[in-house]
Each structure stands twice: as C-alpha cells, then as structure tokens.
Amino acid sequence: MTSAPEALLALSNVNTFYGQAQVHFDLSITVARGHIVCLLGGNASGKSTTMKIILGLVKPRSGEVTFDSASLIGLSTPQIVRRGIASVPEARRLFADMSVRENILMGAFVRNDRDAVAQDLDRMLTLFPKLGQRLAQRAGSLSGGEQQMVAMARALMSRPRMIVMDEPTMGLSPLYVDRVLELIRTINQDGVSVFMVEQNASLALEIAHEAYVLQTGKIVLSGPARALKDDPRIRDAYLGGSEAA
C-alpha cells in the first residue's frame, strides 16, 4: 500500500467458522483514516461475514480486529457501535413498522445530546431531501431506493467515525445507484471513513481508495482502486467479463 496513512480499522489474520465450516482464512484488511475501502467478491465468499466480524455480531475463532488502535475483540455490538462505527446492513434492515422519522432517530440511539440530534435530523433532510415528505410514513412502505436513503441517514445520525455498508447498491435502479455512490463520496468528504462490501466491482472502484478481492474466504487481490480497475486479473478472476466497464 502506498505511503500507508494511519489505519483506523484493521483486521489481521482473522479466521472465522460457522460450526465446522471455515469462512475466513487468515483475513487481513486495513481501512486507512478518511478512506473509502471496498471489499469485492462473489456470492458466499464471506463478505457479509466480514461486516459481522467488525460489528461483533460474529466472533472470529482467531485473529485481531482493532479500531483506532484498540481491540474490538470481546466487545458487544452496542459497545462497538459506541466506539464510532455505524452500519448500513445488507438489505437495509429498517425497522419496518416504525416511521421514517423514528428510524432515522434510532440511529442516534447512542447519543444523549437531544438538541444536536434534532439539528442532525434537519441536516439529514438537506442531504436526503426526498425523505422530508416521508417522515411520518411507515418505513416498510418505502421503495427500495428510499429505504437505502433512510438506512444511510440512520447510520450517519450516530456521528460515526466510520460507516460499514453491506452492498448499498443492491437492487437499486441505475439512477439510485449513482445517487448512492455520490452520497457515499459526500459522506466520506465530510470525514467519515467508509468500508463497503460490493458485488458491482466497476462501480465500487469508481469511488474507492483501496479495494480487496475476497474469494472463498481468502484475499486474492488488493491494492489502490485505481490500479485494480485496470488490473486484468480482477477482470478475469472476478468480473468474468460480464461487467466490462
């Protein structure tokens, strides 16, 4: 990696199992402070499990996970969230029967500064103007794209230092895909580091600083996004030609 800036999140030599089945083999990933890092990989390669390891939803059998130089191993998910990691889970996972407003405010659950939270809610409405008219609506009744916006607003409400996102563009129309990528870039420019999982490599590499390619639990390729974009190996090994950008 080039002139490595300070690491905010680091996974080193992580091995993960579901019962007998090993999902990660000596996985090592670094997210530099202020960067967007993308994890690419096909179905069932272990991408979502990586997110769950970071969030403490799944415990690795061995290896180390550090955030801001402090270990996350052994912490519960709420404790990890309080350290400053917010998440946009796979398939968004909104609280379907709560209103959009309540969903966004749930993102600020770990905060106790009511006034600042109210201000942040307003800020979200300028960042995601479409949500303004939807605040009272049941979150479950929104379209997929709108739900993605709510999930991102919800994650930002905790004022995280890092956001982890699992396939934020999945199932969205091309228009929304562009919008989401643009928002990720905006969020990042405001100083939030981003670790995202994507299947759509060509799109992800557009905005990422670095990327890793995961294949059945092993990192097979990594480096600056710019370099990987033109790397023939990623085209062969992962894109399989179908995603010719």
Partner 1 sequence: MSSWFDYTINGLIIGNVYALVAVGLALIFGVSRLINFAQGSIYLVGAYIGWVAVMQLHTPLPLTIIVVAAAAALVGLVIERFGLRPLQNSVRIAPLLATIGISFVLDQLVMLTFSPNPRALPSQLPDVRFQLGGGTIGPLDLLIAGVGITSALLLFVFLRYSKLGWAVRAASQDRDAAMQMGVDVNRVNQAVFGIAAALGGVSGMLVGMYYNQIDTAMSLQATLKGVVAEVVGGAGNVPGAVIGSLLLGLVESYGVAVFGTSYRNLFAFLLLVVVLVLRPNGLFASTRQAPPEPLTGTFIAPSRPLRIPRWALAVAAAIFAVLPLFPVSFYVLQTLINAWLLGMLALSLTLVAGTMGQVSLGHAALLAIGAYTSALLSLTLNVPVGLAIVGGGLMSAALGTLLISPSFRLRGHYVSIATLAIGEIVSLVILNWESVTRGPIGISGIPPLTLFGYDLISPSSVYWFSLAVMVVLALLQGRLLTSHLGRSFRAIRDDDIAARAYGLSLNRYKSLAFIFGGFAAGVSGGIAAHLYSYINHETFNTQQSILALTVVILGGLGNVVGAIVGSVALVGLPEVFRIAAEYRILIYGIVLLLLVRFRPQGLLGTI
Ligand X SMILES: Nc1ncnc2c1ncn2[C@@H]1O[C@H](COP(=O)(O)OP(=O)(O)OP(=O)(O)O)[C@@H](O)[C@H]1O
Print the binding letters for residues 87-126 with partner 1: x by CB under 8 A, - otherwise.
x-x---xxxxxx---x--xxx-xx----------------
Half-sphere exposure of 200 (CA within 13 A, CB side): 16
User: What residues contact residue 216 under an 8 Å CB cut-off, 6+ apart?
Assistant: 44, 45, 46
Q: How far is CA 84 from CA 9, 35, 63, 179, in A?
A: 11, 15, 21, 25
187 binds, among ligand X, partner 1, Mg ion, none (CB under 5 to 8 A by kind): none
Distance CA 187, CA 152 (A): 10
Answer for the pair 88, 168: CB distance below 8 angstroms, yes or no: yes
- Picking from 75, 80, 47, the residue whose alpha carbon sits closest to that of residue 158 is 80
- Picking from 197, 226, 225, the residue whose alpha carbon sits closest to that of residue 47 is 197
25 binds, among ligand X, partner 1, Mg ion, none (CB under 5 to 8 A by kind): none
Q: Nearer to partner 1 by C-beta: 94 or 183?
A: 94
**Shortest spacing between CB 89 and partner 1, in angstroms:** 6
Q: What are φ and ψ of residue 128, in 5° steps?
A: -125, 75
Residue with tokens 């800020």: 123
* Strand duo 62-67 + 70-71: pairing: antiparallel
Residue with tokens 């009272």: 136
Print the binding letters for residues 149-168 with partner 1: x by CB under 8 A, - otherwise.
-----x---x----------
Print the binding letters for residues 46-75 with ligand X: x by CB under 6 A, - otherwise.
xxxx--------------------------
**Shortest spacing between CB 193 and partner 1, in angstroms:** 17
95 binds, among ligand X, Mg ion, partner 1, none (CB under 5 to 8 A by kind): partner 1
Query: Per DSSP, what are the bridge partners of residue 197?
Result: 39, 166
Q: What residues between 48 and 77 interact with Mg ion by CB under 5 A?
A: 48
Q: Which stretch binds ligand X (CB under 6 A): 30-38, 41-49, 100-108, 173-181?
A: 41-49
Is there binding between residue 61 and partner 1 (CB under 8 A)? no
Contacting positions for partner 1 (CB under 8 A): 55, 57, 76-78, 81-82, 86-87, 89, 93-98, 102, 105-107, 109-110, 154, 158
Q: Which parts of this chain interact with Mg ion (CB under 5 A)?
A: 48
